[in-house]
Every structure is written in C-alpha cells, then in structure tokens.
Homo-oligomer: A and B are copies of this chain.
Amino acid sequence: MKCTILSIGDELVLGQTVDTNSAWMSEQLAAVGCAVRAHMTVPDDQAEIEAAIREAAAKSRFLIVSGGIGPTEDDLTRQALAAVMHAPLEENTVWMNQLESFFKARGREMPPINRIQAMIPRGARMIFNTAGTAAGIDVDIAVEGAVGARVFVVPGVPKEMKIMFARDVLPVVREIGGGAVILSRTLHTFGLGESSIAEMLGPLMKRDRNPSVGTTVANGIVSLRVNARHPSKDAAAAAMEQTVAECRTPLGDLIFGADDQSLPQIVGQLLEADPLARQHRPSLATAESCTGGLLGKMLTDIAGSSNYYREGFITYANESKTELLGVPSEMIAAHGAVSEPVALAMAAGAAKRANTPYALSITGIAGPGGGMPEKPVGTVWIGLAAGGKTSARMFHLAGDREMIRDRAAKMALTILRYHLLGKPMPF
C-alpha cells in the first residue's frame, strides 16, 4: 500500500517556502500503516505536473497532491490532472453554489477567476473545503501498465490541507490499506527538556519496542508518541494502555494532557472543577508586561473560557503597572519592573481589581534588547495570586523574543496548573 506525496509550487522549488506539508502527511500515513515511497516537488508548470502525476501514479496505490488549486493563472494542478486522465474539466454545481454563497455572505460579487475553483475532471469526486475556496479532488486514475492509483488533490495552505486530509483522505487510505492496526497516542509535557524526559523514560524508548515510544518537541511542549502496531484493534488498544501507564509511572503530573488537549484547555478544566474558583465565576485575571497579551490570548483560545477568565491587564508601560494595578512607582524605581516585588504586586493588583480569587502576572525581558548583566534577556518573573496569597518565581528562559514570550506564558499556565492540582512543581 505505497503512497507518493506530490507538492506543487514555484515557491517550493525556488526555496522561498519550506515544505512542511509532506512531513505532516507522511507522519499521518505512517500511523495508519501506509508506507510513503517518495516525496516529489515540482513548480507551477503544467507539463512538469503532468509528468510527475503520471510517474507517481504508476508506482503508487495512493497519490496525494497538494497545491496548485488556487484561483490564479499559476494554479495548474487541476488542468494537469485532467490532461493525464484525458478527461475534460467540468463545473461542480455543488461547489459553484458554495463559492457563490461564500462571496454573497461577504457582500461581494464572486470574481470571475474563482469559477475555475469549482472545476474538476469528469468522473472525479469533489472534496469539501470548510476553510477556503479551493475544493479538493478525489479520483481513481488508470495508468498504462500499472494498477492505477487513487489520487487526492488538496490545497497547499496547511490549515485547509490538514482539515481535508484528516476528514476525507486518511480514512480512505486506512480502510483500503486494511493491514495491521496502528493506534497512536500522544502525551504532552511542559517544563523539562527532551533529553531529561528521555532519561526518565529509559528503556521505554528502545527503537525496536512495540508499542514504540518516541519524543518530539514543538514550541517547548515535549510530547511522547506511543504507536502500538498489532493485527487486531483490541490487542493494539490493550498494548497501548499498558505502555501509556508505563510512561506515566516515571513522569506523573509532568504529563499535562493527551492528543489534542492543550495546556490552556487543561488549566480551564481544573479551574472549572476548583471549589474556590466555582464560588467566583469567572475566577481568573491576568497581568502581563513582556508577553503583551499572549497569556490572555492562550487562555481565550479555548471556546467557553469566559466561564473562568474574566479580564486581563496588558501593562506594557511602567506607568500602566502603577495606574491599572497599583504597583507603587517607588517599587519599580527601587527594584526594576522585572523583579519579585513587582511580579507579586502585579498579581495581587490584578486579583484585587478584577475581584477574582486567581490572578497570574508576567514581567520579564524578552529581548533582543534590554538585557543587563544581572538580568539577562530571558529573565522572567511570574506571579500567582491565589485565595489572597501571592507567590512569585524567576525563570531564565532560552531562545529568541518569540520563544521567551511563548515559554513565559506557558510557564505561567503551568504554575497555576500545579497550584490547582495541589502539588509542588517538579522542576
């Protein structure tokens, strides 16, 4: 059950964009037991796209093509596929209506060039796109001297591609593949590095183990991927649960969630269950300096966060810390804005102003400028007000401005998480 992934785009072969789609799709396909035999990338050139489709289709049971289905003249994937199939492009009425209502809902006339996005080769099925105007294509094509391939065409925009791939491509590959069952679970941790986690897991990470345990890192979150491969689903599920339990033994509460659970979501769930928070809904306020709203943004990424998140103060200027949160200007002058007393006063001030039992504060030096010998870039103080008591801790965070801000917001969430769990932080 081999698969080829074909990416289309001048920006890719010119090196202006790194292709992350192919790796993402490959990982998904591997998890359902489908071997990817090749990635190919060609420019927005119809002859090259045709040749690539022909060649890949002859060697693969599945061909996934991404990119080249936008509305502009350099988008030529649908034309190339139709040419390989010796089939005409035909208007798909369902998608044309969808496109027209899309533009109507925005009070705009549909530009004529968008009509091409409703054209698919005769005999092909249309794949719905809930996040953009490019419909996908799903078709079995015949290839001279070969079995023929099931071809899926999806947009190159990662967000659109991922939704369509998960919904309409992967289940088909899994079903037709019909081989061993591979179950996957991902466990997420934050706070320790990949090598520390690996050391704690020890022999669980042996390469030939089944279920296998691997680690990946994304934006400071170290995740464990457990893949269980067995002939039957029940055996795979049982082996999976066993290995997940073995991972939890050394890591304990370092694991904050699994699969698509996020840190702000877990903190939200803990707040919704917390007795003190339940008496004061919404129960949480934030006071941010160097993160400039990122902590509030993360909390409100979660639909329904209004149940527990009340308000935030982005006190970027020192005067704002004084005026909005009551941090004495003499305190800032004496200790600096990035200091324990200021972090404590920000958290206490936010809880008081918002009248919430919980408040988090962040004040730090995100860089690249502003570092000092005694307070280098990456120095961040995080404060917590909880039920009238305040505490604060300093961290030295590594990386550039974006990483320092991201890790600071996640560390603030982690501090609140351990407080709500009633446990000490293990790092």
Q: CB within 8 Å of B: which residues of A?
A: 7, 9-20, 22-30, 35-44, 48, 52, 55, 70-74, 102, 105-107, 111-114, 131, 133, 157, 159, 182, 184, 186, 193-196, 198-199, 205-207, 212, 214-218, 225, 227, 282, 286, 288, 290-297, 299-301, 303-306, 309-317, 319-320, 324, 353-354, 366-369, 396, 398-403, 405
CA of A113 to CA of B396, assembled, Å: 22
Question: Does the CB pair B41–A38 fall under 8 Å?
Answer: yes
A23 contacts across to B, CB distance below 8 A: 12, 15-19
> Looking across the interface, which residue of chain B has its beta carbon closest to that of A200?
B111
**B40–A13 CB distance below 8 A:** no
Task: With both chains docked as a complex, state the minimum distance between the C-beta of A19 and any C-beta of chain B, in angstroms.
Answer: 7
Q: Are B293 and A312 in contact (CB under 8 A)?
A: yes
A29, A159, A304: most-surrounded residue (chain B CB, <10 A): A159
From residue A95, how far is it (CB to closest CB) to chain B in Å? 15
Q: Are B317 and A184 in contact (CB under 8 A)?
A: no
A38 pairs with B48, CB closer than 8 A? yes
Chain B residues with Cβ under 8 A from A301's Cβ? 292, 401-402
Give complex CA distance A286, B315 in Å: 11
Chain B CB within 10 A, most for which of A12, A13, A29, A369: A13
* Contact with A216, one of B17, B205, B366, B367 (Cβ below 8 angstroms): B17
User: Complex Cα distance A25/B19, Å?
Assistant: 13
Q: Is the CB of A38 within 8 A of B40?
A: yes
**Quick one: given A205-B74, A312-B316, A320-B354, are A297 and B303 in contact (CB under 8 Å)?**
no
Find A73's partner among B131, B196, B207, B314 (CB 8 Å cutoff): B207
**Residues of B contacting A157 in the complex (Cβ-Cβ under 8 angstroms):** 217-218
Contacts of A214 in B (CB 8 A): 10-11, 16, 44, 72, 74
Most chain B CB atoms below 10 A, which of A28, A112, A114: A114
- Assuming A214-B44, A296-B314, A310-B320, is B37 touching A13 (CB within 8 A)? yes
Closest to A284 in B: B316
CB distance from A58 to the nearest CB of B (A): 11
Other A-B pairs beyond A11-B225, A16-B216, 17, CB < 8 Å: A14-B182, A15-B22, A15-B25, A15-B30, A15-B36, A18-B19, A37-B43, A72-B205, A111-B196, A131-B403, A290-B300, A291-B300, A292-B296, A292-B300, A294-B297, A296-B296, A324-B353
Q: Which of A42, A194, A205 has the most CB of B within 10 A?
A: A194
How many Å from the CB of A388 to the closest CB on chain B? 20
Q: Which 6 A-B pairs have the closest CB atoms?
A: A292-B300, A293-B296, A293-B293, A15-B26, A312-B314, A15-B27
Q: How far is the CA of A44 from the CA of B225 in the complex (A)?
A: 13
Q: Is the CB of B70 within 8 A of A194?
A: yes
| Option from B19, B55, B102 in Cβ contact (under 8 Å) with A22 | B19
A-B contact pairs, 24 of them (CB 8 A): A10-B225, A11-B225, A14-B27, A14-B36, A14-B184, A15-B24, A16-B214, A16-B216, A18-B20, A38-B41, A38-B43, A38-B52, A71-B195, A73-B207, A105-B398, A107-B396, A114-B195, A291-B300, A293-B294, A293-B297, A301-B402, A303-B368, A311-B320, A320-B354
Count chain B CB atoms within 10 A of each CB in A11, A291, A398 and give the residue with the most. Answer: A11
Task: State the Cβ distance, A25 to closest chain B Cβ, in Å.
Answer: 7
Which residues does chain B contribute within 8 Å of A182, judged by CB atoms?
Answer: 14
CB distance from A197 to the nearest CB of B (A): 9
Residue of B nearest to A215 (CB): B72
A217 to B196, CA, bound (A): 39
Contact B72 A198 (CB under 8 A): yes
